[in-house]
Structure 1
Amino acid sequence: MGFGALLLQWRKAAPGRPTQARTAKAMGISVRTYRKIEKGAVPPRLTPAQFESLAELFGLDDEGRHALTLHNIGSTLIAPRGSSQPQLQKALRLLIDRQMPSPAYLCDQHWNILGFNSAMAEWWPWVMEPGANLILWALTSPEARVQYQDWDMHASAYVKMLKFAEATRGDDPELRELIEKVKKDPDVLHVWDTEKSMGETRDGHVFRMNVAALDWETIEVVSHVLYPASMPQCRFVVITWVEGGEGERDALGGTRNAWAATAANQDDVEAAQWHEQNRVAEDAATRWRREAAALASRTVVSTPDEAAELAGANGVPMPAISKLMGPDAQLTLAPEQSTVVWAVEEAAGIWSVTHVRPATVIARVPREAIHGACLAEVLQLVRVALPADAAAATARIGQLLEERDTEQRVLREVLNKIKNDGGAAARETGQF
């Protein structure tokens, strides 16, 4: 979108829909000149007075003023000063890694993922895929629509970012290609056509997500966006997990630590005994929370063989699953570490290595592909994900089966109610 088209959009959306004549007067130019600008003519540099007059006439918010500023100075973001300085790249990688256990990543001005830490790879493995792009994932991936609560609201936020980028870098061919690509999705196209606002970033946004790596637990996170001085066109993003409670109230609104005033009964004793027997299994299920520091950094090696060696002497190659993860991916199971060494060839002679949990890999394997060699590899992943002790592993499997049985039983009861009562009646009453 050029400056003229942007002025036209702002003028039509402004309170009272000012005419071209009124807008020209605010800019201190003739109506004829203003009409040419709306049709695509290059405008003169605005004076501070003209800038303020236009911003006030159109009722621009901070994002709009920023877009107007960038157009006025003819600004496009400069080439990254740090892109040719390896020491700066290493410093940024260190900064990303040291955000553990919070997920963090670095992306360029087109939202292509340039770097990420292990927590980011654990929670959102798509960042390890070749050509990973935040906007493409958020707007077109079925996975994103499941993980974002109220996806439509998030889609609007990302469309606002695209529109802001279009307003400031409308002649950027890669940006144009990205916009056209996401608009091929009918849902995104609808959001694009109906969303009239712009937004520069998602800095400070607080929202809820369901994360597969956390067994689809609903979490509330805050997005923090920063711009590295050495690479100002890039975005450094940290995702902070926050709890809902504050003060004397816990996350659910109850009195904090109310359990301290309660007394145990025999049922509580028996439950405690049962949990003690399964303590090892439960520890394994939540091990990632305590071992984040052990996975705090990624490694870069020169060959896939060097990457495989990081899995230890007993490393197990996983060629079938590697093929599913992409042409430039190599996964090796590290049994002693209970992790998977996930290597991706970023460039010739550069393999980026991330250690992830077996559950992270299992979640990425399409269910229809689990047969033959792939099934054999998945079975190995599942076994390594369980406690090494046979009794503890058996207990953990029992827990998982009980959870799945409960879920299936509830779903069957709901299905039977729908069949017996009629779907329409159930929807009208809101009851089953």
Structure 2
Amino acid sequence: MDNEQQRYKELGDFLKTRRVKIMPSQVGLLSGQRRRTPGLRREEVAQLAGISLTWYTWLEQGRPIHVSTPVVESLARVLQLDREERHHLYRLANQPLPADISEARKIVSPALQHMLDSLTHCPALITDQRWNVIAWNKASCTIFGDFDAMSDRDRNIVWAMFTDSKYKQLFVNWDRHAKGMVGRFRSTSGKYIEDFWFAQFIEELKTRSPEFDLWWPLHEIQNNGELYKQLNHPQVGQLDFEISNFDVADHSSLKMAVHVPMPGTDTTEKMASLLRTYGNESGLLLNDSTRRKQ
């Protein structure tokens, strides 16, 4: 067996061993009838990865077929590979390694969270390079919804902006804010062009939002963040904020956005009122429909 044949065999064996480790419930499938073998069936992996069963079967059989980068990334996602396993799959498929994208942090340091919490009347968020909100304070929950109760996808700022109808009511001049966000998100995605997550996310969002589908092909780029934001909150009415954006020290991929009540407005008093409501009733939140069942 030559080196190429060995590589194809290793690829097939690797896929098989990872497939049997994934339970149907881990990918949102019902277990159903008794299964003869553990893990996912071939047809389930093929369907979830968006490839044909015949083609995937050939892969597991070690046949000499070309595997594209999008297929490698889809398989890595379905099989829930960690960073090392994902890189191993890329090597076996003879594809260049993806950009080194750090995993989204689920928990920030206690000191960083304490700093967010100390910004009592200032909604503050920390996002990763994919614009997922990974840390927040109570003030931000009174404005944007209970992040702790959202799914990972709903916690993505871009996704929420274009798929949650409540945001169109919350943002005064939503079109301007949303279109500017598209330009800034395109600038970010260009930095991680080899991360297939962005391609998948963008295609899915285009099918969900006519506005995003219209604006994305314009290739407009923005690098400067917002300086001012006016919101129309359903409980307290108009809120006016100055926006400050910071890089998180020692974590260049993380960004912090702080919404500071504008001087000369009643925004601070309204934030205090919202926080009292949030503390007493778990918040009159923008995204109550996204709460997880306890």
Instruction: Give the TM-score normalised by the residue count of structure 1.
Output: 0.38
Give the alignment of 1:26-37 within 5 angstroms: none
SS in 2 for 1:182: helix
After the TM superposition, which parts of structure 1 deviate over 2 Å for at least 4 consecutive aligned residues?
76-80, 355-366
Unaligned runs of 5+ in 1: 1-75, 252-285, 293-337, 340-354, 367-432
CA shift digits 1:311-350 (9 cap, x unpaired): xxxxxxxxxxxxxxxxxxxxxxxxxxx86xxxxxxxxxxx
Quote the Cα distance in structure 2 between the aligned partners of 1:183 and 1:140: 10
In the alignment, structure 1 residue 240 sits paired with structure 2 residue 223: no
Partner deviation per Cα, 1:4-36 (whole Å, 9 max, x = no partner): xxxxxxxxxxxxxxxxxxxxxxxxxxxxxxxxx
User: Which residue is 2:210 aligned to?
Assistant: 186
Per the normalisation by structure 2, the TM-score is 0.55
AA aligned to 1:192 is W
Please give the per-residue CA displacement for 1:262-321, whole angstroms capped at 9, x wherever unaligned.
xxxxxxxxxxxxxxxxxxxxxxxx7962795xxxxxxxxxxxxxxxxxxxxxxxxxxxxx
CA distance in 1, matches of 2:230, 2:270: 23
Give the structure 2 partner of residue 207 of structure 1.
229
Contact 2:171-2:232 within 8 A present in 1 as well: yes
What is the letter of the counterpart of residue 111 of structure 1? W
Paired residues, what number?
187
The structural deviation recorded for 1:179 is 1.5
**How far has the Cα of 1:152 moved from its partner?**
1.0
2:29 corresponds in structure 1 to: none
CA distance, structure 1, for counterparts of residue 285 and residue 120 of structure 2: 23
Aligned mates of 2:162, 2:139 — CA distance in 1 = 22
| Superposed displacement of residue 178, structure 1 | 2.1
Quote the offset at 1:77 in angstroms.
7.1
Residue in 2 aligned with 1:380? none
Change (3 A) 1:143 1:357: farther
Q: Which has the higher contact order (CA 8 A, sep 6+)?
A: 2
Q: Kindly indicate whether the alpha-carbon contact (under 8 Å) linking 2:144 and 2:287 is maintained by their aligned counterparts in 1.
A: no
1:109 maps to 2:120: no
How far off its partner does 1:127 sit?
A: 2.3
* Correspondence 1:162 to 2:182: no
Cα distance between partner residues in 1 of 2:243 and 2:252: 18
Conserved 8 A contact 1:220-1:244: no
* Counterpart among 221, 238, 243 of residue 223 in structure 1: 243
Q: Aligned partners of 1:179, 1:201: CA distance in 2, in Å?
A: 21
In 2, the alpha carbon distance for the partners of 1:228 and 1:92 equals: 9
1:157 to 1:244, Cα distance in 2 relative to 1, 3 A: farther
Instruction: State whether residues 227 and 234 of structure 1, in contact with CA within 8 Å, keep that contact through their aligned partners in structure 2.
Output: yes
**Equivalence for 1:358:** 281
Whole-Å separation in 2 of the counterparts to 1:188 and 1:173: 19
**Partner amino acid for 1:189?**
D
Instruction: Tell me: CA distance 1:288–1:102, structure 2 relative to 1, closer, same or farther (3 Å).
Output: closer
Distance 2:210 2:164 in 1: 13
Q: Distance in 2 between matches of 1:174 and 1:117?
A: 27
Residue matched to 1:130: 151
Q: Are the counterparts in 2 of residues 139 and 155 from structure 1 also a CA contact under 8 Å?
A: yes
Whether contact under 8 Å (1:225, 1:235) holds in the other structure is yes
Equivalent residue for 2:170?
147
Distance 2:173 2:286 in 1: 22
Structure 2 gaps, min length 5: 1-98, 290-294
1:196 — aligned with what?
A: 219
Percent sequence identity over aligned pairs: 17
For residue 183 of structure 1, give the secondary structure of its aligned residue in structure 2: helix
Once the two structures are superposed, the pairs formed by residues 37-48 of structure 1 within 5 Å of their partners are none
Name the CA shift for 1:364/1:357 in 2 (closer, same or farther; >3 Å). farther
Q: CA RMSD in A?
A: 3.4
Larger radius of gyration: 1
Question: Shift of residue 362 of structure 1?
Answer: 6.8
Mapped to 2, the partners of 1:149 and 1:127 lie a distance apart of: 22
Q: Could you give the per-residue CA deviations for residues 113-134 of structure 1, whole angstroms, max 9, x where no partner exists?
A: 1111111112221423121111
